[in-house]
Amino acid sequence: TKDIFERPISISSNPLNWWATFSSNDYYEIIKEKSFIKLSASSLATLRDCSLKWFLERKAGATLLRHNSASIGSIIHAIAQGLTNDEIEPNINSLKQELDKVWFQLNFESEWLEKREFENTLEILQNLLNWHLKRSDKEILGAEVYFSFEIYFEEIDATAQVSGFIDRLDADVDNNSNI
């Protein structure tokens, strides 16, 4: 873009110079520089759903700050693991006690929002507890069970190692594993 005297106004105004405006083939080339890519299960889902988002978050470092919803999810996840590993008694008071230990660390924009989120989280924990108690016919094989496997992507000539943790691994009465 130029001013009325034909002088460049800004190099940044040229779309060719804008950050993260490139074709999908451009970032495949960057990925191919490493012939082996390490992925978590969640980043594999992001890559599947939107490869540009995966690239921007995982390779370009364009991540957003963690929101309370993500923190609440992590809290519920940790309580679920404690419930599965018999570290937390299977009753709502015990689950609420665990929630109370960490809830104060979250920041909310208003008191009513904090109250609503706390009540929603307690409802989720109650549903988790109900689900857990109904699974008495299952043998718990483990919580946070590590897994790892490789996938080859022919289109970009790269191999990805996918690894992560399975939230809960059960076996039913016929000894079939369930994830």
pLDDT tens-place string over residues 41-86: 677 777 778 777 777 777 666 665 557 788 888 899 899 989 888 8
Spell out where 80-157 has E strands: 139-153
Top pLDDT among 57 and 29 is at: 57
CA distances from 89 to 82, 83, 176 (A): 9, 7, 26
Amino acid letter at 147?
Answer: F
- Looking at residue 160, its pLDDT comes to 78
Taking alpha carbons only, the member of 146, 154, 143 closest to residue 40 is: 146
What mean pLDDT comes out for the span 104-123? 91
**Antiparallel, parallel or unpaired: β 36-40 and 177-178:** unpaired
Judge whether residue 34 has pLDDT over 70: no
